[in-house]
Chains A and B, each alone.
Chain A
Amino acid sequence: MTRSVLLTSAAILALGLAAPPALAERILRLDEAPIGEMDPAKGTDYADTVLAINLYDTLVYPRQGGSGVQPHLATDWTIEGPVYTFSLRDDVTFNSGNPLTAEDVVFSFERMMALGQGNSGLFEGRVQGAEAVDAHTVRFTLTEPFAPFLATLVRLPVVDKATVMANIGAGDFGEFGDYASEWMSQNSAGSGPYVAESHDPQTETVLVYEPDYFLDPAENHPERVRYRYGLDASTVRALMARGEHDISSQWLPPEVFAALADEGAAHLVTEAGLTGEYFKLNTRRPPLDDVHCRRALAYAFDYDTLLQLVRINDDTTQGRPMSSALPAGLIGFDPDLPAFAQDMARAQEELAQCAHAPGDHPLEIAWIAETPARERGALMMQALYSQMGFDVSITRTPWALITEQVTDPDTAPHVIEIAVSALSPDTDSLLFNMYHSSMPPTWMSASYFVNEEFDALLEEGRTETDPDRRQDLYAEANAILKEEVPAIYGYELLGAFAVRDGVSFHNLEDPARTYPVSGFNLRFADISVPE
């Protein structure tokens, strides 16, 4: 048996199997970076958000075509100081058939806080308790006034108490056992438009449509969804060209998006999800402990080239210019500010005022290994800042190691490029985590920014409930960030998706239907697929 004989027989084998069997149902195939965490009390990443919104419902949802929130499970609510009272829809049942009641909401909240993972930190220390007033009324009492609370509720998916309790294992939570921690990572117990049929956190989750869902789906909505994890860019590209994949993840390199659009196999849409592409500057380590050095780096930064790098083609880009620390659409954002631009003269001016000479300290730039396109930004900075006399090193660091390094400000890299999304449609969820001095050192707060005036503004923003006053407060905070440069505000990230022609991603194709928070547009039932 020689190789040519082998290949010939392989070719025969291949040809014999080339014709795919007819599709029996409407199917939607997407992909995302691993891993997918299905337990809504544990998820934090993009894939987790997408799973949560399709399997579960929340009291409120980001407002379609606008900012803020809109009713979802809750039809309306009253706010009296720290007391929030929600009236729930009475026509919602879980996929198990159990009706969704106020008790489930309370249970979901308590479960999330007890497990202490995922987005529980958003509520930690702010909520005194939740109680079911009657079957369809739920009341949250806060420890103190907290204006962003309502918006934060988009991160509290409601789970079916009865189903969860039927599946608890041994654990540390008394009568609640492990709160079904193990089971919930494998199964869904929600009221959402889809039910998980199978789940493998590294490979794929298969979801099946639930016809009894309380909201109407799009025409020709998918009946079965295959949400795949960790496909290579080249694999996605080939699958889409063959018509075997419907919506790409947003992590493909621009070249691959461009190739897909050029071929006519797919069209591109983008999601502005309140996400900034930030180059966090370590304000604790010299030379960046001096604001003049930070400003020098920011003025010297080549914003145009960076935006050029994320441009896919004439029609689509993965980023748009920023004019301040805030992405468009958040409270405090000012559309009239001019966009950042390179200004070498001012960079040199600031550098001259800096207490450190450029050669005094090395400048370490880290980029996240899992996002290869970012190497270009790091290399660009290395070239630029070397010219200014800095001794620049760049390191490709796995994400897990970055999250570890940033916990020690004295040794954390000087510059890290990280995309940070507002977790809820409220400015507080972005700025407080990143820059308030009370935050522990994490990847979100890797600037280690300390500014009393700024802290005071944010604290007032939390307790102030008047929208106009809040707009002023955050505009002021924003101005401080522009002045003090705890980060270089690279660009506003637009998540691009390649969508196979024939598939309609209505939420992103029509601005009036777009939800303002990253990930919340991927409601599978709102997507139309060909028969």
Chain B
Amino acid sequence: MKRTATILLGNPLSVLGLILVGFVVLTALLADFIAPYPDHAGAVVDFVNANKPPSAEYWLGTDVVGRDILSRIFYAYRVSLGLGIVVLSIATPIGVVVGLLAGYIGGWTDYILMRITDVFLSIPPLVLALAIMGLLEPTLLNGMIAVTAMWWPWYARLVYNIARAEKVEGYVLAAEIIGGGRMHVMFREILPNCVPAIVTKMTLDFGFVILIASSLSFLGLGVQAPTPDLGSMVSEGTRYLPDSWWLTVFPGAAILIAVFGFNLIGDVLREVLEPD
């Protein structure tokens, strides 16, 4: 842990990443205090100030009903981060269990579970999420389900490969010989060895979950108004290009900042933790 911190702080790229992620997390957490117009996250209309370009009063301009875009970006970060946490904390356990079962038990369990995983992996991720979202009602919860459905197979793959490699290691054989049950071996012996890889992947994925979720809502299948959401802000703004460019460019940049921050950290982490 201490070593990781040293590494992250020693690399200018990851420091930049930490700053960006810190910015995103802080603005999301403290949105109530630092957003210039906290009530603009909800159903507020101020038609007099609608569609105003950036100014001293509204740093990033206002949207088509007169809400401050900066404030809405802060609140949208809150939604994005929440979604990322929920998706990963559901997808990871599912993937881990599937991967462990398939990798350790092997045989038919392996074949069936991994073919199911293949099925999920062989539908382009966004298309699968779109199909699920399209058929269910477009709400935040269903958005989470859709993204989770496309995410768990990656963890299953990852853990599967590790479990298959670890299964023939001495310590696992030893645990089996002294009569450790399957559950014990899988979750107590093998799982701890998967943790570093899982953590790295989660860091890397966090950015991508935000990215995919914004893509879904860009297509009109995500968070419902008036809840602020970066993807739908971009999507609504594109109607007003090129005149009202601030409606699109700033939320787009906000996505870039958040995902880029997580990716910078993940990139450095991976280079250090998984030397290949």
| Chain A contacts to B: CB under 8 angstroms | 232-234, 237-238, 253, 255-256, 259, 305, 308-309, 369, 372, 375-376, 379-380, 382-383, 386, 392, 394-396, 398, 401
Question: Sorted from nearest, which 3 A-B pairs have the closest CB atoms?
Answer: A234-B241, A233-B239, A382-B43
* B window 36-91: CB within 8 A of A: 43-45, 47, 51, 64-65
Residue of A nearest to B220 (CB): A369
Kindly identify which residue among A234, A259, A305, A369 contacts B238, using a CB–CB cutoff of 8 Å: A234
Extra contacts besides A232-B238, A394-B43, A398-B138 (12): CB < 8 Å: A233-B239, A237-B241, A255-B64, A255-B243, A256-B243, A375-B225, A376-B64, A394-B225, A394-B226, A395-B224, A396-B225, A401-B137
Q: Is there an interface contact between B47 and A305, defined as CB atoms closer than 8 Å?
A: yes
Task: Please encode chain B, from 139 to 172, with 1 for each CB lying within 8 Å of some chain A CB and 0 for all others.
Answer: 0000000000000000000000000000000000
Enumerate chain A residues within 8 angstroms of B44, measured Cβ to Cβ: 379, 383
Residues of A close to B65: CB separation below 8 A: 375-376, 379
Q: Contacts of A380 on B, CB cut-off 8 Å? A: 45, 47
Q: How far is the CB of A286 from chain B (nearest CB, A)?
A: 22
Residue of A nearest to B67 (CB): A379
CA A115 to CA B65, docked complex, whole Å? 44
Contacting residues, chain B, for A396 (C-beta < 8 A)? 224-225
A51 to B219, CA, bound (A): 29
Q: Does B242 belong to the interface (CB within 8 Å)?
A: yes
B236: interface (CB < 8 Å): yes
A394 contacts across to B, CB distance below 8 A: 43, 225-226
Given the complex of chains A and B, what is the CA–CA distance between A66 and B224 in angstroms? 44
Is the C-beta of B244 less than 8 angstroms from some C-beta in chain A?
yes
Partner of A379, one of B45, B137, B236: B45
Is B111 an interface position by the 8 A CB rule?
no
Name A259's closest neighbour in chain B (CB-CB). B243
The complex places the Cα of A372 from the Cα of B64 at a distance, in Å, of 10
Chain B residue contacts of A238, Cβ below 8 A: 241-242
- Taking CB atoms, residues of chain A closer than 8 Å to B239 are 232-234, 253, 256, 372
B187 within 8 A of A: no
Knowing A233-B239, A234-B239, A372-B236, the reply to whether A379 touches B43 (Cβ < 8 A) is yes
The closest CB in chain B to the CB of A365 belongs to B43
Residues of chain B contacted by A233 (CB below 8 angstroms): 239-240
Residues in B229-255 with C-beta less than 8 Å from chain A: 236, 238-244
- Cα-based distance from A423 to B166 in the complex (angstroms): 72
* C-alpha spacing A382/B45, complex, angstroms: 9
- At the interface, is chain B mostly helix, strand, loop or mixed? loop
**Chain B: CB-nearest residue to A305:** B47
Query: A127–B241 Cα gap in the complex (Å)?
Result: 51
- B residues less than 8 Å from A305 (CB atoms): 47
**Minimal beta-carbon separation of A136 from chain B (angstroms):** 51
**Of residues A259, A375, A386, A401, which shows the largest number of chain B Cβ atoms within 10 Å of its Cβ?**
A375
B64: chain A residues at CB < 8 Å are 253, 255, 376
Of A259, A376, A401, the residue contacting B47 (CB under 8 A) is A376
Tell me whether A379 and B238 are in contact (CB under 8 A).
no
Q: Which A residues lie within 8 Å of B45 (CB)?
A: 376, 379-380, 383
Distance in angstroms from A1 CB to nearest chain B CB is 23
Assembly CA distance A369 to B44 (angstroms) = 19
Bound Cα distance from A256 to B240, whole angstroms: 7
Which of B51, B226, B236, B239 has most A Cβ within 10 Å? B239
CA distance A256 to B237 in the complex (A): 12
**Chain B nearest CB, measured from A375 CB (Å):** 6
Point out the residues of chain A lying under 8 angstroms from B51, CB to CB.
255
Taking a contact as CB atoms under 8 Å apart, the answer to whether B242 and A234 are in contact is: yes
The answer, among A234, A237, A379, A401, for a CB contact under 8 Å with B226, is A379
Q: How far is the CB of A180 from chain B (nearest CB, A)?
A: 32
Complex Cα distance, B47 from A380, in Å, reads 9
Q: In the complex, A309 Cα to B51 Cα: how many Å?
A: 12
9 contacts between A and B (CB under 8 A): A233-B240, A234-B238, A255-B51, A255-B64, A256-B243, A376-B45, A379-B65, A382-B226, A394-B43
CB nearest to A386 among chain B residues: B43
A317 and B139 alpha carbons, distance in the complex (Å):
34
Interface centre among A234, A253, A256, A386 (most CB of B within 10 A): A234
- Residue of B with least CB distance to A262: B243
**Which parts of B196-230 form the interface with A (CB within 8 Å)?**
220, 224-226
Q: Collect the chain A residues with CB atoms within 8 Å of residue B43's CB.
A: 379, 382-383, 386, 392, 394
Tell me the bound Cα distance from A379 to B243 in angstroms.
24
Task: Report how far A392 CA is from B138 CA in the complex, Å.
Answer: 19
